[in-house]
Structure 1
Amino acid sequence: MLSLQTRRRMLVAAGASLAAALVLTGCTPGDTSNETEPTGASAEENEAEGDTVTIGFSGPAADHGWLGAINSAALAEAEKYPDIDLKVAEGTNDANLQISQVETFINDQVDAIVLLPTDGAALTEVAIQAMEAGIPVINVDREFSSTFASRVTILGDNYGMGVSAGTYICEELGDNPDAVVAEIAGIDSLPLTQDRSQGFADALEDCGLEVSNRVAADFTVQGGEAAASQLLSAAPKIDALWNHDDDQGVGVLAAIDAAGRDEFFMVGGAGSANAMREIQSGDSVLKATVIYPSTQAADGIRLARLVAQGKAMSDLVEIEVPNRIVLNAPVVTSENVDKYLPTAFES
């Protein structure tokens, strides 16, 4: 059985080999060789006002706190730059409507598109059309099914979230091989949920634990409460619980309170301010949460500006903006909650 550390090294090595192969062949995902060669590589040059760029932004409907934070952070980031003309499409969970929004951006000949797709596979074809029209696409959070659909992909680390949650639980329960570990996932059909669960299982395996009871919810308060009630009824004893999403965690905590259960500790996911205040209080079963950054679209706006203006990232020697960026998934506990609470989103 390979240890988690060994698997990580193998993944890093495989990624390095792929990157090297792409460089040697001169073929990169979303080749935009007709763009202006990047020039500015210092922080001062990048922050300096340049030619005005029109950026189209489209994302899902803000039907829970994390997505609301994603949208508001993107708008706030664009407002920082007088050389950004931001065109915002109405948030939607209808893939066909979002496709038509991207088509409008293409017809309007925007300089770049920042796209958090309601469904990555469904939006892939129209994103490729934008790329073929010479419009760089910045793919946020939910990946397209083709590397040719985006110039830059910026993601939270879903697999890493699971690893972080599992590692924390291992540290707390590693000396108890009979511990009962439960899991409340998000929407099971989404690759991001599958990645989170796989990372969680892999981390637990590394310390001899496994998930004993698992249910799925839907990232909503109501869904979290219903799933938690089901889980608690099926599992008379639990030692640790990981809930994938702090928005649905509001409902999960309500169900736990209604059931009068407090024999276990809980780890959340995403990093909402609500969850962090629970951790801070010291009076809750919620002892930790794993960050899934709500800054991704804001980062996408900033990267779209750099790409459209032919600039690079100031902290890298490389003269091109990278084509893939994966953000970290740190664990927030009572020991470091003060560091993360000021930038957390409200559920």
Structure 2
Amino acid sequence: MTNPSVRDLYEQDGFQDYLEAYPVGDLVDGFVWEPGMGAEFEGPYSNLPIKAPFTDYIPLDEGPVLDPDRTYRIGFVFHGFNHPWLISLADTVAWEAARHPNIELEVIDAEFDDSRMGQVIDTWITRQFDGIVLWPAREAPMGPPVDRAIEAGIPVVSLDRRTSSSAISSEVLGNFYANGLQQGLYLKHVVSEGNMVLNRKDLGSTADSIRTGAFLQAIGNTDGFEIVGNYHTNSQRSLAFDATADALQANSQFDISFNTGGEEALGALGAIEEAGRLNSGSSGKIIILANDDAKEIMANIRSGAIDMVAPYTPLIGDVGLRALIRHIGANEGRNEAPPRLIITPNLPMVTRTNMTIEGVQTLTPDEWLYAYGPAVE
């Protein structure tokens, strides 16, 4: 990397090690995804309309699964019923479970407490559950409880983020690397310099290490970028607002807001607008880069307030549950187990108007059918 500001952070946080360890692979069973695919339903928890993109991936017919005369007890533990991305994730797990009358699903919100999540898993081990699905906020703390479940003969599938367990049955992963890369490619497409503030997810999370690392890789040889603020705002809009407000006060010139999630981007936008600084960037408007395709993000792209989003759909819980059922079936000798690594299809970036960036066509908000969360006018 030729840019010292970018290189110093990249090396300081050890991003290369994370990127080298991040798994890559093909889609299961040669699946081919096209925009428009997927089922539509009302979210069981959010009560919001959902179009889930991957309901045809690792398909499973509606009706009883495996042994129709047996009830299978499955636990889903995650964090954040009060978070729009995460409640949408829970919606898709519950929707898939409801399609199968002999699945009994228990859902617990660990409320961003790693110890509590571990205790929940240990309780399910004691109760001899048939399988566990989880959304781990951070990798390291969730390795030991997952290992204990596997040792007890209970298959475990993680969604979105990784655990540190080397024994986990399957990991359902989107392409965090593509998200950060898309943000970097977009930024280089529209400007070649500017002061930049980073609002990042929690340190030690897959979403932070891979997205931020890929973004820094993409811009590392563009010498005009200067990192003037670096914050961990942990997927919280209020923390991103406060961090961005601090950065605005500390820097008379603020040009680029990089955000590893949608809540971070919305918090940053709120602070910038409250300060009356949206159009104070050296290229005109402060450029705001987002991840996660909430309907609120899409509304702000339509208006021009946010410049791009790299979609990372929460609507993948159904994939994880279907994979878990296959693992249970494999333990019963009914079918082959799915692979450990289950990659979901790559998604195109969304911009206000159609653009071609590095030979790839972007979609507009109206062309992206899978945005989650409450509608925003």
Matches within 5 A, 1:140-151: 140-148=159-167, 150-151=168-169
| C-alpha contact 1:140 1:153 (8 A) present in aligned 2 | yes
Provide the secondary structure at the position in 1 that maps to 2:252: coil
- Using structure 1 for the length normalisation, give the TM-score: 0.77
SS of equivalent to 1:100? helix
Do the aligned partners of 1:53 and 1:305 also contact (CA within 8 Å) in 2?
Answer: no
Give the C-alpha shift of residue 307 in structure 1: 2.1
CA apart distance, 1:135 = 1.0
Any conservation in 1 of the 2:326–2:336 contact (CA below 8 Å)? no
Query: Residue 132 of structure 2 contacts residue 156 of structure 2 at CA under 8 Å; is this kept in 1?
Result: yes
User: Does the residue aligned with 1:179 lie in a helix, a strand or coil?
Assistant: strand
Match of 2:88 among 69, 72, 78: 69
Greater percentage in helix:
1
Matches within 5 A, 1:164-243: 164-173=182-191, 176=192, 178-208=193-223, 210-216=225-231, 217-243=233-259
**Separation in 2, partners of 1:329, 1:68:** 21
Residue 288 (str. 1) matches residue 308 (str. 2) = yes
Partner of 1:22: none
> Deviation above 6 Å: which 4+ runs of structure 1?
42-45
Judge conservation of contact 1:62–1:91 (CA < 8 Å) in 2: no
Q: Which residue identity does 2:302 align to in structure 1?
A: Q
SS of the residue corresponding to residue 368 of structure 2 reads helix
How is 1:20-59 mapped onto 2 (pairs within 5 angstroms)? Answer: 46-47=61-62, 49-50=64-65, 51=67, 52-59=71-78
Task: Specify the alignment match of 1:134 in structure 2.
Answer: 153
1:324 counterpart letter in structure 2: L
Q: Give the deviation of 1:255 after TM superposition.
A: 0.8
Tell me the CA shift for residue 102 of structure 1.
1.0
Cα deviation digits, residues 277-321 of structure 1 (max 9, x gap): 111233x2x12111222123332112112222339xxxxxx9541
Residue 208 of structure 1 deviates from its aligned partner by: 4.9
Which string of whole-angstrom CA distances, capped at 9 and with x for unpartnered residues, describes residues 247-292 of structure 1?
A: 133221111111212232211111211010111233x2x1211122
- Give the drift of 1:207: 4.8
Name the amino acid aligned to 1:278.
N
- Find the counterpart in structure 2 of residue 309 from structure 1: 329
What's the RMSD between the two structures over aligned residues? 3.1
CA separation of 1:245 and 1:44: change in aligned 2, threshold 3 A = closer
| TM-score, with length taken from structure 2 | 0.71
* Inter-partner Cα distance in structure 2 for 1:146 and 1:170: 37
Q: Does 1:96 align with 2:118?
A: no
3-state DSSP of counterpart to 1:344: coil
- Please state how far the C-alpha of 1:68 moved relative to its aligned partner: 2.0
Pairs aligned (count): 303
What is the distance in 2 between the residues matched to 1:137 and 1:145? 13
Question: Partner of 2:272 in structure 1?
Answer: 256
Contact 1:183-1:211 at 8 Å conserved across structures? no
**Unaligned stretches of 5+ in structure 2?**
3-15, 26-56, 280-284, 355-362
- Give the gaps of 5 or more residues in structure 1: 17-41, 312-317
| Partner Cα separation in structure 2 for residue 126 and residue 189 of structure 1 | 17
d(CA) in 2 for partners of 1:188 and 1:198?
12
User: What's the % identity of the aligned pairs?
Assistant: 24
Distance 1:309 1:187, change over 3 A: same
Q: Are the aligned partners of 1:114 and 1:301 in contact in 2 as well (CA < 8 Å)?
A: yes
